[in-house]
Amino acid sequence: MKKSRHHKNYKVISNVQDIKTAILKFNGSVFRAYENSYVKAIDEFYEYIIRVLDQQKYKWKPLNEEYKKWKNEEGLDTRILIATKFYRDNIVKEVGEGYAFVGVKAGVKHVDQDGKEGIELTYLAKIHEWGTIKSGHWVPPRPLWRPAISVFIRRWNKEHKNEMLVNMKKEFKGG
């Protein structure tokens, strides 16, 4: 059996067992690098969504004066998509084995300022994303998710395009 040679930071592989070991190590490195990157992306995307809502970063169609006045009289937040903060506060992030999620969970119903249950948050999200006619009134689209995903992906790719490769190299070297 030939002895392995070293060249700078790389080991020259000389037998089948060395090749199998290297492939397994590389696959583990890829997985850990990918896992680290997507966990970081989910955390950052969640923070981005909350910032968009809190700072009203998008140029949504303003509330009509009647509705804005009513929100004010009820002591509700007059920012768009934030009246009672229930929707905002029920945006969650989850990372599990093989999946990651940022959004509102299915089955959770909106609760208004009087404690009354209303529509599911997933439906509320769709209404705001696409607009609808509700009780004879047009609710204009105020998209949050589509533009947020688009902006975030572009920004993430620009800022982190080499990060995964660096993470893979670190993992492969064992550090």
Distance CA 125, CA 142 (A): 9
| Beta strand extents in 4-144 (DSSP E only) | 5-7, 10-12, 91-96, 99-104, 109-111, 117-120, 132-134, 137-139
Predicted local distance difference test score (pLDDT) of residue 88: 95
Name the more confident of 167 and 2: 167
* pLDDT digits 0-9 by tens, 51-110: 999 999 999 999 999 999 999 999 999 999 999 999 999 999 998 877 788 999 889 999
Q: Which of 36-40, 82-86, 93-97, 120-124 has the lowest mean pLDDT?
A: 36-40
Judged against a pLDDT cut of 50, whether residue 4 lies above it is answered with no
Does pTM surpass 0.85? no
Contact present, 23 and 65 (Cβ < 8 Å): no
Predicted local distance difference test score (pLDDT) of residue 34: 64
CA distances in angstroms from 118 to 55, 74, 115, 124, listed in the order given: 26, 17, 9, 10
Judged against a pLDDT cut of 60, whether residue 117 lies above it is answered with yes
Query: What integer best gives the mean pLDDT of the chain?
Result: 81
